[in-house]
Amino acid sequence: MSLLELKNISKIYGELKALDNVSIHVDKGEWVAIMGPSGSGKSTMMNIIGCMDKPSSGEVLLHGVDISKESSKALTDIRRDKIGLVFQQFHMVNYLTAVENVMVSQYYHSMPDEEEALEALGRVGLRERARHLPSQLSGGEQQRVCVARALINHPELILADEPTGNLDEANENIVLDLFRQLHDEGTTLIVVTHDPEVAEAAQRTIVLEHGRVAREIINENFEK
Amino acid sequence: MLLKMIRGVLFHQRGKMLLIAFTIALGASLATGMLNVMMDVGDKVNQELKTYGANITVKPKDASLLSDIYDIGGSGEAIAASYLREEDLGKIKTIFWAFNIVDFTPFLDTTVTIPDGTPVKTVGTWFNHHLSLPTGEELDAGVVGMRSWWDITAGKWLDEKDANADSEIMVGAVLADQQGWSVGDTVTIKAGQHEKQLVIAGIYDAGGDEDQQIFATLDCVQGLTDREGKVASIEVSAITTPDNELAKRAAKNPQALSSRDYETWYCTAYVSAICYQIQEAIPNSLATAVRQVAEGEGAILEKTQLLMILITALSLVGSALGISNLVTASVMERAQEIGLLKAIGAKDRSITGVIIVEILITALIGGVIGYFMGFGFAQLIGQSVFGSAVEMKLKVIPIVAALITLVTMAGSLPAIRMVLRLRPAEVLHGGH
Amino acid sequence: MTKRKMFLRMITASLLRRRSRMLIALLSIAIGATILSGLVTIYYDVPRQMGAQFRSYGANMILLAKEGQTLTADTMQKALDVFPEEQLVGATPYRYVRLDMTSRQQSFTTAGTDFDEVQKTSPYFSVEGEYPREDKEILVGKEIADTIGAKAGSYIQLTWRPSVTVNENASDDWIGGAKLSGSAEGFNAGIVVVEAELDDEGRIARLTIDASSQTPEIGGQVGTDKNFQSRFIGKKLPVTLGEDVDAVSGATISSQAVVDALNNAHSITKGTAAAERSGYFSVTGILVTGGEEESYIYMKLRDLEDLTQDKNLDVAELSISANAEQLEKYVSEIDKADTGVMARLVKRVTRSETAVLGKLQALVFLVTVVVLLLTTICVSTTMMAVVSERRREIGLRKALGAPDSSIRAEFLGEGMFLGGLGGVLGALLGFVFAQVVSVNVFGSSITFQPLLLPVTLLMSMLIAAVSCLLPIKRAVAIDPALVLKGE
């Protein structure tokens, strides 16, 4: 059974159809990239998957349950319990240290545990930078903290919006390596990007154009 | 370009700029309101203090020694021979400080015998005497205003506009009680050869010696004593400035002052200056300050003004800090924008210029609105406390304008400098 | 680590690591709280402090003897017991007696009093020279001083004559041939003096009356009306008006004074009669008031008692720092108490004080309300600016799955902490401010209102919370996606 299924999703902003009758499905443990040029509807889809927006019509099935009609409070609960988010602009609380930023996620999810948070930072190679404030970290380091924050609660789905958009190549590779590790551990990953190189790292790429699914590419080179 | 950027900020950040303009308007209104009230409170409280009655008494020059000193010597008649003239009274309202004379009333008293043979002091005075001055001014003067603490326990104030006012009297509560008189009774009084039938118009409780006296119109007592057109003393209630060192020197001998000091003294509403001017206006008179009233007024006025000055200072400091706080906060909020401008090569000076101009425009709008709001506050206070408008003082405008400018500059400049000191990368990087 | 610990850790981090912003918010709340506590303290203290200023108008209550009773230093002191010490500004005893000035054959009303208290109850007295400090020193009213040419440093001999003097030759039992003279108070405190000679049987043989102090044409007639004097001839003392002799019509009081003077003279035997006493007094200052006090002489009560051998008082002037209601209450308490003393308000002073003080208090009240209102809004806008700045952080927290309630709790916690800290700071600063005002304006310190601390604290926490809530509510309502996307 698929973990996530979008059925005939449309999102209309006034005259503009950001998404037009889109249907996709993502299986558990799968690594999917969503690609497309600016204005193709990527961000709208990402917001709907991330439970930060609701579709104008259509169904969003998570574990086969439609969540498209849920209240925003219920959506917040789902986002907290099931989804880990990684943003293009990193978005850290700027007065909290790296480890504290990770712990914020734990705090809203269940119980803050500094050891566990430090371990997560260790996984992204930032254990010794744990006590630094965001302003003292480089962009790549900040994004790695965000990845650590996304995975700390063992979400069923990690949703990343242009995670490498603001990074140089070295850092991009570090982040992609992290995704690979997560994938190996069985985490479901959805990465929104317009960078073909990032998309190629995924198992499958869904290409959006003008709010519709233009095509799906199975990445042959994906190393299992 | 500068204009474009400023317009951009003013329109696109309308919400934030509105908040700043609003806060500046509040601060400006507080400053305007308090300054206006502070500057007018002296006059207002002074007006209220007039309820204490006369602060100046005027007597004939050579009768200023009280006749009771000569009780035993028996030469009372000689002293009483000196009087002021009723026709001179209006001149009080022609002196330099005429506008400060709130009320005045003449007195002429005598002792009359009432039907049971008891001698009673009878005071002739004005009640609400209508005066038409040569200056064209019209006013009512008399004890109605000068004895505001009297309780009229029965009847009403004697009204000089009534045709038969000269055959009416007001009687003190104690006397009325002793004699069993009530309003409307006719009392026959004798004074020397004269005998008159007078109707009681009202009974008053003065809480003092006056409760055993009779008050009649000046004409009535003049008739009883054959002293037509004569007045024994005048009580004057004037708004005065509390005495200072100059006024004290002048009170001793105005002629001893240097001509400049004399000018200053003469043109200030010191009680001694007003006394001096009354003496100039009324021939053969001696005007003296009633220290009990003058001193009390001085003390209370001074304290009230000082109190208001300190409260005003506090509210000015408060609104200044409030405004500069908010301005600082709003500049710091824009650290990222400033960093960006710097990163694309803007000079520190031009960035500072843009922000300052923006904030000053906002301050101007807020300040103008605030000035009018503050004026409204001052009127609200004036009307509800004193029942009269607070005078609009023009000098408040530059004070408030300078204050707002200073405060917004003081609030924004250090913040801008602080933000400019940051490296652009750092700001763009970690800051949100 | 518990949730609560993390909660505290986040708030502490926010407070400590965002120091400049937090200082701005804290400063703004502290200013607001300072103004609140300072103005409220002043508002509550104004009536008391201003009331003290109003005491410069002089006494607002007088004590008198009830009918048939006497007022003495003792009974006055007993009556004063009803006043709390801090409200009693001063209490001045007065005894008025006419003394003769030997060198000029004139008599002046002389007041015996306590000069320390005079300065408290009549602060408007202006003395050219100094107040008397030693015994046998006096103040002379300006009008008297002008008449007799007295200055500070002059000496004046004052003589007290008993109202009854007995002729040296009179025999002990008032039998025939005695000469006696006496005086009594007639109309308007004027003194009527009589001299009489008795015949062998003790009947009045000859009588002279000096009534020049009485109103001419009325009371004065008892001195000039030969017919009236003749009514006494052949009468035995004491005489009663209306029975033994008829009054001069229209001059009852003066007629009674003549009768009293004769009876006084008769009732006192030679042995016990008080002799006249006199003393030299040094003038230390001239009193200027612009009122009738300028025609009096003031001396120490004890000096006057030495002259008159009489410890009674005529009146006591009290200056009491209390409102009209309290004053009325004290009057009825004194009147009810069994001290033989009654109290009366000086209406002119109390009335006006109530009116003016009411206005002043209303003024300070309105000013306080306006200033507080504007300050509150000022504080709110600053807090709002500080919170609005963190919209993106709120969006991020929401994206991380924070429920709205939790975000509210965090920001409110921070706001209320700032409110509390600012409140404590402000309450203390406000007290300092009020103290500075009080010392500068009124020259006296104020009492700390303990209740004001919690009130200020609560108010500033409330204001901080309310002004945080608005921007939080707005931020929380926005989709996290929009907040995070927007630059």
Which chain B residues are closer than 8 Å to A137 by Cβ? 430
Q: Please tell me the distance from the alpha carbon of residue C217 to that of residue C478, in angstroms, as a whole number.
A: 101
Fold of C164-267: Sufe protein. Chain: A (3.90.1010)
Q: Please tell me the distance from the alpha carbon of residue C267 to that of residue B2, in angstroms, as a whole number.
A: 110
Kindly provide the ipTM of the predicted complex, given to two decimals: 0.82
Rg (CA), chain A: 17
Instruction: With beta carbons less than 8 A apart as the criterion, state whether A134 and B430 touch.
Output: yes
Mean pLDDT within B386-392: 82
To the nearest whole Å, the CA of B396 is away from the closest chain A CA by 44
pLDDT in tens, B261-278: 888 888 888 888 899 899
Which of C161, C356, C357, C463 is best to mutate for the B interface (most B CBs within 10 A)? C356
- Do A94 and B429 make contact, defined as CB atoms within 8 angstroms? no
Instruction: With beta carbons less than 8 A apart as the criterion, state whether A153 and A109 touch.
Output: yes
Q: Please tell me the distance from the alpha carbon of residue C384 to that of residue B18, in angstroms, as a whole number.
A: 13
Rg (CA), chain C: 38
Whether the per-residue pLDDT at B426 is higher than 80: the answer is: no
- Do A137 and B426 make contact, defined as CB atoms within 8 angstroms? no
Q: Please tell me the distance from the alpha carbon of residue B222 to that of residue B203, in angstroms, as a whole number.
A: 22
What is the per-residue pLDDT for C190?
75
Say yes or no: A134 contacts chain B, CB-CB below 8 A: yes
To the nearest whole Å, the CA of A93 is away from the closest chain B CA by 9
pLDDT in tens, A111-155: 888 899 999 999 888 889 889 988 888 888 888 898 899 888 888
Whether the per-residue pLDDT at B64 is higher than 50: the answer is: no
Q: Please tell me the distance from the alpha carbon of residue A178 to that of residue A173, in angstroms, as a whole number.
A: 8
Provide the greatest CA pair distance for chain B. Answer: 110
What is the per-residue pLDDT for B193?
81
Strands (E), chain A: 2-13, 16-27, 31-35, 57-62, 65-66, 83-86, 157-161, 188-193, 204-209, 212-218
What is the per-residue pLDDT for C187?
77
Picking from A50, A80, A95, the nearest residue to C18 by CB comes out as A95
pLDDT in tens, chain C (487 residues): 677 888 888 888 888 877 777 888 888 888 888 888 888 888 888 777 777 778 888 888 989 888 778 888 888 988 898 899 888 889 999 999 888 887 777 788 899 999 999 998 888 888 999 999 988 899 999 888 888 888 888 888 888 876 544 444 444 444 345 566 677 777 777 778 888 777 766 678 788 888 877 887 788 888 888 888 888 888 877 788 888 888 888 788 888 888 888 877 766 544 334 457 788 899 999 998 888 888 899 999 999 988 887 888 889 999 988 888 888 999 999 988 888 888 888 887 887 788 888 888 888 888 888 778 877 887 787 777 777 778 778 888 888 888 888 888 888 888 888 889 999 998 888 888 888 888 887 777 877 778 888 888 898 888 888 888 887 887 777 777 766 664 4
What is the per-residue pLDDT for C330?
92
What is the per-residue pLDDT for B3?
66
Q: Please tell me the distance from the alpha carbon of residue A82 to that of residue C401, in angstroms, as a whole number.
A: 10
- Do C124 and B294 make contact, defined as CB atoms within 8 angstroms? yes
What is the per-residue pLDDT for C132?
92
Q: Please tell me the distance from the alpha carbon of residue B27 to that of residue C473, in angstroms, as a whole number.
A: 26
- Do C441 and B310 make contact, defined as CB atoms within 8 angstroms? yes
To the nearest whole Å, the CA of B343 is away from the closest chain A CA by 17
Mean pLDDT within B210-221: 91
Encoded tokens for B154 = 């029965």
Which chain B residues are closer than 8 Å to A140 by Cβ? none
Q: Please tell me which residue, B293 or C128, carries the higher pLDDT value.
A: C128
Encoded tokens for A101 = 């930023």
Which chain C residues are closer than 8 Å to B333 by Cβ? 385, 388-389
Instruction: With beta carbons less than 8 A apart as the criterion, state whether C31 and B318 touch.
Output: yes
Picking from C6, C397, C480, the nearest residue to A52 by CB comes out as C480
Burial A130-168 (b: 16+ CB within 10 A, else e): bebbbbebeebbbbbbbbbbbbbbebbbbbbbbbbbbbe
pLDDT in tens, B140-189: 889 988 888 888 998 999 998 888 888 899 999 989 988 899 999 999 88
Say yes or no: A112 contacts chain C, CB-CB below 8 A: yes
Q: Please tell me the distance from the alpha carbon of residue C175 to that of residue C357, in angstroms, as a whole number.
A: 67
Which chain C residues are closer than 8 Å to B77 by Cβ? 216
What is the per-residue pLDDT for C201?
65
Task: Report the percentage of chain B scoring pLDDT > 70.
Answer: 90
pLDDT in tens, A75-116: 888 888 888 888 877 788 888 899 999 998 888 888 888 899
Q: Please tell me the distance from the alpha carbon of residue B229 to that of residue B222, in angstroms, as a whole number.
A: 7
Which chain B residues are closer than 8 Å to A135 by Cβ? 426, 429-431
To the nearest whole Å, the CA of A181 is away from the closest chain C CA by 22
Task: Go through the domains of chain A in sequence order and give each one's CATH number.
Answer: 30-52+71-218 (3.40.50.300)
Q: Please tell me the distance from the alpha carbon of residue C259 to that of residue C252, in angstroms, as a whole number.
A: 11
- Do B118 and C249 make contact, defined as CB atoms within 8 angstroms? no
Q: What subunits make at least 3 CB pairs under 8 angstroms with C?
A: A, B
Cα torsion B238, B239, B243, B244: sign: negative
Task: Report the percentage of chain A scoring pLDDT > 70.
Answer: 99
Question: To 10 degrees, what angle do helices C404-437 and B291-333 make?
Answer: 150
Q: Please tell me which residue, B315 or B217, carries the higher pLDDT value.
A: B217
What is the per-residue pLDDT for B73?
34
What is the per-residue pLDDT for C169?
46
Domain boundaries, chain C: 3-53+355-485, 60-161+276-345, 164-267
What is the per-residue pLDDT for B395?
87
**Chains B–C, number of C-beta pairs less than 8 Å apart:** 257
Closest alpha carbon within chain B to C382 = B326
The one-letter amino acid at A6: L
Q: What is the mean pLDDT of chain B?
A: 82
Task: Report the percentage of chain B scoring pLDDT > 90.
Answer: 11
Place of tokens 């051998």: C309
- Do B431 and A94 make contact, defined as CB atoms within 8 angstroms? yes
To the nearest whole Å, the CA of A94 is away from the closest chain B CA by 7
- Do A80 and C479 make contact, defined as CB atoms within 8 angstroms? no
To the nearest whole Å, the CA of B432 is away from the closest chain A CA by 7
To the nearest whole Å, the CA of C188 is away from the closest chain B CA by 9
Whether the per-residue pLDDT at B79 is higher than 70: the answer is: no
Say yes or no: A108 contacts chain C, CB-CB below 8 A: yes
What is the per-residue pLDDT for C162?
65
Whether the per-residue pLDDT at A163 is higher than 60: the answer is: yes
Q: Please tell me the distance from the alpha carbon of residue C159 to that of residue C100, in angstroms, as a whole number.
A: 5
To the nearest whole Å, the CA of C363 is away from the closest chain B CA by 6
Which chain B residues are closer than 8 Å to C288 by Cβ? 291
Mean pLDDT within A20-34: 90
Say yes or no: A94 contacts chain B, CB-CB below 8 A: yes
Instruction: With beta carbons less than 8 A apart as the criterion, state whether A54 and C480 touch.
Output: no
Task: Spell out which chain B residues touch chain A, with contact meaning CB-CB distance below 8 angstroms.
Answer: 426, 429-432
pLDDT band, very low/low/confident/very high, at B125 (cuts 50, 70, 90): very high
Q: Please tell me which residue, C330 or B1, carries the higher pLDDT value.
A: C330
Picking from B291, B332, B432, the nearest residue to C20 by CB comes out as B332
In angstroms, the Cα distances linking B250 to B276, C158, C450 are: 10, 35, 49
